[in-house]
Amino acid sequence: MTDEPFDETDPRNNRVTYAGDRTDMPSVLAIGGDGNRVDLGSGGKLAGLQITVKGSRNRLTIGDGCILNGRIVIKGNGRTVRIGARTTFQHVTLYSVEGCDVTIGEDCMFSKRIEIRTSDSHSIIDRTTGLRLNRPGSVTIGDHVWIGLDAVVSKGVRIPEHSIVGAKSFVNKSFYEPYVLIAGVPAAIIRRNVDWDRRLLPFEAAPALREA
């Protein structure tokens, strides 16, 4: 294993780069189209991740130290999916389709059976006008967000930094206030002025949080 970065470009100008210290790769890395780019950071684990890109000029960036299990699907042209450093997925399905992007911040923790999607993948039609009602939309999730089991993050949503999304929640609107607990169907803020930690801390208040 070399510490030199790896950079490979195929005849259709699809490019994959990763750090020289990477010891595993996604279990599926399927790229169709022209001029796509996939950048994989150093460290972490990606062996449980499936990546499918269908289209041209798309870019997927995964930061350093990520541990990702699940599936990332990008369909279309000129789309961007960014996952920040040290983010973890136990099992997440992410769809970037219909001309929309997905941005996930650093140090996020996502549980199992989570869906993040920029489109409903089917149409809801107004019978009077014949027009489609359910527009797609990009998804943005801030730094240090914890999303619980079986949650769905729907199209056009923004989740602010230092937030918690409860298990089985359906997030179908944007929130802008950080340090909140969001839960329910549809999701709403149920508690403010909270934060979270990957460690299971004792019930006594953590000094760092008391002093913040």
Domain encompassing residue 186: 6-211
**In the prediction, which pLDDT does 1 show?**
41
Tokens of 195: 């934060």
193 Rama sector, left if φ>0, alpha if ψ -120 to 50, beta otherwise: left
Quick one: DSSP state of residue 132? B
Kindly state whether residue 1 falls inside one of the protein's structural domains.
Answer: no
pLDDT (tens digit per residue) in 164-193: 999 999 999 999 999 999 999 999 999 999
State how beta strands 6-9 and 15-18 pair. Answer: antiparallel
**In the prediction, which pLDDT does 24 show?**
86
Mean pLDDT, to the nearest integer, of 36-47? 94
**In the prediction, which pLDDT does 203 show?**
79
8 Å CB contact between 31 and 56: no
Task: Output the CA torsion 41→44→48→53 (10° steps).
Answer: -10
Kindly state whether residue 123 falls inside one of the protein's structural domains.
Answer: yes
Secondary element (H or E) of residue 67: strand 67-75
**What string of DSSP letters covers 108-119?**
-EE-SSEEEES-
CATH number at residue 157: 2.160.10.10
Count CA atoms within 13 Å of residue 100 on its CB side: 22
Q: Determine what percent of the chain is predicted with pLDDT higher than 90.
A: 84
173-178: long-range pairs with CB below 8 Å, 24+:
178/142
How many domains does the chain contain in total? Answer: 1
d(CA 62, CA 96): 15
Task: Give the position of tokens 């989740």.
Answer: 159
Helices marked H in the chain — which ranges?
Answer: 207-211
32 Rama sector, left if φ>0, alpha if ψ -120 to 50, beta otherwise: beta
Identify the band that residue 151 occupies on the pLDDT scale cut at 50, 70 and 90: very high
**In the prediction, which pLDDT does 211 show?**
54
- 7 pLDDT above the threshold of 90: no
pLDDT (tens digit per residue) in 96-130: 999 999 999 999 999 999 999 999 999 999 999 99
Kindly state whether residue 178 falls inside one of the protein's structural domains.
Answer: yes
Tally the residues of the chain. 212
